[in-house]
Amino acid sequence: MAEMVFEFEVNGKIEQLTAEPGKTLLYILRQNLGLTGTKDGCSSGDCGACVVLLDGKPVNSCMVLGPQADGSSVLTIEGIAKDGQLHPVQRLFGETWAFQCGFCTPGMLISCYALLESNDNPTRDDILTAIAGNFCRCTGYQAVVTAVQQAAAEMRAANGGAGND
C-alpha cells in the first residue's frame, strides 16, 4: 500500500512522517516516533492500554487510523510531565501503589489526567467513570481512586485552594 505523509503535533512538537494510511495511531506513535509508553494490550478497543489524548479527548489509539489523526494534536504519557517534574497524578500513582506490572498504567494515567483537566474535585464515581475503559488485571482500582483524589487535592492547593470541598 502506498505510504502517505502525516503531520501532527505530538507532546507539543510538530512531527512529519510517512506511513501506510491503514496504520493505527498507536503504531505510528510506537514505531515511527519511538513513543513506546503507549501500550498495545488488545488492538481491538477493549482494554484502554493505548489511551492518548487526541485534540484533548481520550481515545483508544489502536482504533484511530493515521489519517484520522492527521493535523491533530496528540498527548501521550511521555508528554504529561512538565519541566522535569512528574504530573501529580503520575507521582501519586507511585506513592499509593496504584500499579503493579504497570502495563495498563500509561493509558490509565492519561484517562486520569484528562479527568483532572476538566474536574478539579472528582468523586469516586467520577473517577471510576473516567477509567471505565481502562482494564487492570493486577492492582484493582481503589488505589487509583486514592491517587487521583490526592492529586486533585494537591492541584487545588497549588491553585490557591479553589474547589468545592
What residue ranges bind ligand FES (CB under 6 A)? 40-43, 45-50, 60, 62, 99-105, 136-139
Q: What share of the chain is helix, strand, coil (3-state, %, to 5)?
A: 40, 20, 45
CB of 49 to ligand FES, least distance (A): 5
Helices then strands, each counted (H, E), the chain = 6, 5
Task: Considering the complex, state which of residue 62 and residue 77 has its C-beta at the smaller distance from ligand FES.
Answer: 62
CA distances from 67 to 17, 28, 37 (A): 12, 11, 22
Task: Considering the complex, state which of residue 52 and residue 116 has its C-beta at the smaller distance from ligand FES.
Answer: 52
Task: Considering the complex, state which of residue 100 and residue 121 has its C-beta at the smaller distance from ligand FES.
Answer: 100
Q: Which of 105, 101, 84, 103 is nearest to 148 (CA)?
A: 105
CB of 92 to ligand FES, least distance (A): 15
CA distances from 7 to 27, 71, 152 (A): 15, 6, 34
Task: Considering the complex, state which of residue 143 and residue 152 has its C-beta at the smaller distance from ligand FES.
Answer: 143
CB of 144 to ligand FES, least distance (A): 9
CB of 108 to ligand FES, least distance (A): 7
